[in-house]
Amino acid sequence: MLIAAMLLSACGGLSSKEKQIVGLYYNPAVSDREPVFELNSDGSSVMRAIRPDVLTLSVKGTWHMAGDTLVIQHNLATVTAEGDTAIIGTVAPVFKAIVTDHTDYTMTLVRACVLACAVAAGMTAASCSSPSVSEQKDDLEQAQALIERLDYRSAQSICDEIRQYQTKGDARDAKVLGRLSILYMKLSDAGGHEENIEYAYQCFLEAYSADSIAANEYYSSLSIDEMPQGMLLAGIVRNTIRIPDMEESDSVAIK
């Protein structure tokens, strides 16, 4: 009875789908001793890329399910390697893939790159390219749906991932950044991470920096339901920095 109670307590923060996914998952082609995925009941995770007799790369993090999608946030400070470290590339901060099937020991993923890292040819894990603007927009619509279902943690994860693509890459898109800013305001309204207003502010400025005309088009077309977030965000920006294109706009968001 005590053991059962402890197990229930350990899985208490997981959804029913996440409880089904908890476990160790192997790729028999490379190792039947070390799992590629460790998805623990406390929300912690370990992922490994294994090239037999050459290199084993692992990274700790946290995991959750967003619908049918497995989302893992890597803690890059925990990356460890055993073997030929000369072939190690970079590890992406977020791993995301759709789970189409799983057994007690194996998992089938769509659009997965086993560790989302860049290593030499022949490595089990391959590098993941950034999603297209269209895919990012689709992901943000998924984040909106998650917010509506009160699944703020999953929505936060998606927004954080897209923000990293947008603010650290060369292919910025003003409307994606604008959408991100509004979603971060909604997450802030829901009592999420304290830094969400700062993220919204950054995305707002990045949107105007990327394409001020497209940014004005986005903010001027906000729905009635999203006007409060747009007006509050514009007020925050207007009190801290002057953006001529924004001030000259007839956007509803800044009236």
pLDDT per position as a tens digit, 146-159: 888 888 888 888 88
Q: What residue type is assigned to position 13 of the chain?
A: G
10 has pLDDT over 80: no
* pTM over cut 0.85: no
Say how far apart CA 112 and CA 143 lie, in whole Å. 20
142 has pLDDT over 80: yes
pLDDT per position as a tens digit, 220-238: 999 898 999 989 888 888 8
Average of per-residue pLDDT across 24-42:
87
Instruction: Please count the CA atoms within 13 angstroms of the CA of 19 that sit on its side-chain side.
Output: 10
181 has pLDDT over 90: yes
Q: Phi/psi class of residue 150: alpha, beta or left (left: φ > 0; alpha: ψ in -120 to 50)? A: left
Q: What residue type is assigned to position 225 of the chain?
A: D
State which H helix or E strand residue 213 sits in. Answer: helix 212-220
44 has pLDDT over 60: yes
Average of per-residue pLDDT across 236-244:
68
248 has pLDDT over 60: no
Question: How does DSSP classify residue 173?
Answer: -
Q: How many CB atoms lie within 10 A of CB 97?
A: 20
Q: Which residues contact 54 (CB under 8 A, 6 or more apart)?
A: 83, 84, 87
Percent of the chain surpassing pLDDT 70 = 77
pLDDT per position as a tens digit, 45-60: 999 888 877 888 899 9
Amino acid 182: pLDDT? 95
DSSP bridge partners of 220: none
Contact between 43 and 11 (Cβ < 8 Å): no
Percent of the chain surpassing pLDDT 90 = 24
Q: How many CB atoms lie within 10 A of CB 193?
A: 14
Overall size of the chain counted in residues: 255
Hey, is 70 helix, strand or coil? strand
